[in-house]
Amino acid sequence: MTPQLQQAIKLLQLSRLELVESIQQELMENPFLDELDAEVEDTAPARDSLDDYEPAHADVESRASEELMRNADWENYLGEFSSVTKQSLGRELEVPEEGLSLEARLTSRPSLDGHLSWQMRLSRFSEAELEIGEMIIGNLDSRGYLQASVEELQVLLPDVSPEAIEAVIQRIQRLDPVGVAARTVKECLLVQMEVLGLDDPILLSLVREHLEDLEQHRYKPLTKKFKISMDELKEYLDLMQTLEPMPGATFFSGEPQYVSPDVFVYMLGGDFVIVLNEDGFPRLQLNSYYVENVKAKTSAEKDYFQSKIRSAEWLMKSLYQRQRTLYKVMESIVRFQREFFEHGVSRLKPLILKEVAEDISMHESTVSRITTSKYVATPHGIFELKFFFNSALDLDDGTQVGSESVKALIKQLISGENPKHPMSDEQIGEILKQKLEVNIARRTVAKYRTAMNIESSSKRKQVF
């Protein structure tokens, strides 16, 4: 493949964020490529409409909302619910932003290792213990559990005894969050109980010996062993639930990942309208100044200039082709999955890449690339384009239903079940046969349930 073709294929499979970064990188490296100024673009005549692709236009309703936000008298509107008066608001707006330091404007979430290191330096840790502690903290996972044994840590710290390493582990476990650096859930909970002064013998026994029984809801044998009622056992369980089995999770939760849709699909006048999201995409053009005024003095310079001009032209052409391909693929998906866009996930039909490829006269690999890491905003939520391609299950009448539709029904059935008498996979399969007349085996129900991270009926059962 030529470098130009490789670039075009690469652009197809890039996500929206990756594409913008790739364009910005090319703008920095290619002097003949320039970004069209927004003001110039607004005054320029509208470009010709494409036969299969229409660029996104400005949203009139959004402009009206912005105008309302600027002109509304919010002080009168909020009345007594306003947190500031007009005078104080005015004084606040007069504070020059330039006077604020960068640290005053930005904030960051504290990390677990930084939080623990800070505590160690404020506690009576010697220099040797600090070195051991940093090594321990460096081997914590996202839950706050220690992923290295004392023997493995000793390999990294050959001059330190196992007893010294274990002593530092014990001290770190009693820092905040309590239970961090534990090796097991049992150890984590026992450390927290020690710090909180929970020394009830039954509670200690439940944690030390019967965590698996509690997880499997084997409650009756426990009531017989400890000679307590179910209500008393529930009190112990409620107390255990106040403990934190993953003490480091809050530090590793990370920021939410927001998805910016590549395509919007709207219902308008009984039909669906497809609009590509071009917000934030740089508008590219050749730098006319360089093209007209920069002259090559040597053959090497001439070759370089020509290669950069060709590269810029090919990039603009490839971007146009990418957007056109995305539009055509989305148009085909809407045709095949119209019932989904009208009624929701339960009406999703079986669909494979080959069907869309044949519909728009493109290669199957092209459809696969353009649907990778692309998202569409629909009347029923935001979905990845890959979501619309799913396998089929046979119905009794000879027709087929999409596997995603069956998953949605399984999730709906489980969400509406009696938690004290949850449905088994076999019962769910029977209900699906009655409702949809779909031929689905118990193991298929179990596979779909597991794929959706839904536990089995024995673990979903609520005794209390």
Tell me how far apart the alpha carbons of residues 204 and 198 are, in angstroms, rounded to a whole number: 8
Strongest mean pLDDT among 188-197, 292-301, 313-322: 188-197
Mean per-residue pLDDT over the chain, rounded: 79
* Assigned domain for 97 exists: no
Are 179 and 283 found together in one domain? no
Q: What is the pLDDT of residues 213-233, one digit of tens each?
A: 888 888 899 999 999 998 899
Residue 274 above 50 pLDDT? yes
* 198-217 as b/e: b if 16+ CB within 10 A: beeebbeebbeebbeebeee
Q: How confident is the model at residue 60 (pLDDT cuts 50, 70, 90)?
A: very low
Give 87-122 as a DSSP string: HHHHHHHTS-GGGS-HHHH---PPPHHHHHHHHHHH
Q: What is the pLDDT of residue 195?
A: 93
* Assigned domain for 280 exists: yes
Q: What is the pLDDT of residue 351?
A: 86
- Residue spans of alpha helices (H) in 337-370: 338-343, 353-359, 364-370
Of 251, 283, 302, the last residue of a domain is 251
CATH code at position 407: 1.10.10.60
Whether the Cβ atoms of residue 264 and residue 275 lie closer than 8 Å to each other: yes
Q: What is the pLDDT of residue 54?
A: 43
Are 126 and 137 found together in one domain? yes
Q: What is the pLDDT of residues 101-123, one digit of tens each?
A: 545 445 556 788 889 999 999 88
* Assigned domain for 436 exists: yes
Interstrand relation of 284-286 and 33-35 (parallel, antiparallel or unpaired):
antiparallel
Q: What is the pLDDT of residue 227?
A: 92
Write the secondary structure of 263-306 as one string of H (helix), E (strand) and C (coil).
EEEEEECCEEEEEECCCCCCCEEECHHHHHHCCCCCHHHHHHHH
In 3D, which of 141, 135, 138, 149 has the Cα closest to residue 113? 138
Contacts of 319 (CB under 8 A, 6+ apart): 11, 23, 284
* Assigned domain for 294 exists: yes
Q: How confident is the model at residue 184 (pLDDT cuts 50, 70, 90)?
A: very high
Are 8 and 129 found together in one domain? no
Of 363, 390, 417, the last residue of a domain is 390
Are 292 and 225 found together in one domain? no
- Percent with pLDDT over 90 in the chain: 30
Are 216 and 279 found together in one domain? no
Tell me how far apart the alpha carbons of residues 351 and 116 are, in angstroms, rounded to a whole number: 51
Q: How confident is the model at residue 90 (pLDDT cuts 50, 70, 90)?
A: very low
Across-strand partners of 376? 263, 383
Are 244 and 284 found together in one domain? no
- Percent with pLDDT over 70 in the chain: 78
Tell me how far apart the alpha carbons of residues 414 and 120 are, in angstroms, rounded to a whole number: 47
Are 371 and 264 found together in one domain? yes
Q: How many domains does one find in the chain?
A: 3
Higher-confidence residue: 407 or 361? 361
Q: What is the pLDDT of residue 286?
A: 81
pTM here? 0.56
Of 251, 278, 306, the last residue of a domain is 251
Residue 275 above 80 pLDDT? yes
* Assigned domain for 101 exists: no
Are 385 and 428 found together in one domain? no
* Assigned domain for 129 exists: yes
* Assigned domain for 73 exists: no
Are 354 and 402 found together in one domain? no
Q: What is the pLDDT of residues 255-273, one digit of tens each?
A: 566 778 899 999 888 889 9
Are 326 and 399 found together in one domain? no
CATH code at position 138: 1.10.10.1330
Instruction: Give the structural domain span for 19.
Output: 1-56+259-390
Are 247 and 117 found together in one domain? yes
Are 413 and 375 found together in one domain? no
Q: What is the pLDDT of residue 315?
A: 85
Q: What is the pLDDT of residue 400?
A: 58
Residue 457 Cα distances to 146, 148, 424, 430, 433, angstroms: 32, 35, 5, 15, 19
Residue 272 backbone dihedrals phi, psi, to 5 degrees: -105, 135
Q: What is the pLDDT of residues 29-41, one digit of tens each?
A: 888 888 876 555 4
In 3D, which of 279, 312, 327 has the Cα closest to residue 49? 327
Write the secondary structure of 201-232 as one string of H (helix), E (strand) and C (coil).
HHHHHHHHHCHHHHHCCCCHHHHHHHCCCHHH
* Assigned domain for 323 exists: yes
Whether the Cβ atoms of residue 55 and residue 326 lie closer than 8 Å to each other: no
Residue 452 above 60 pLDDT? yes
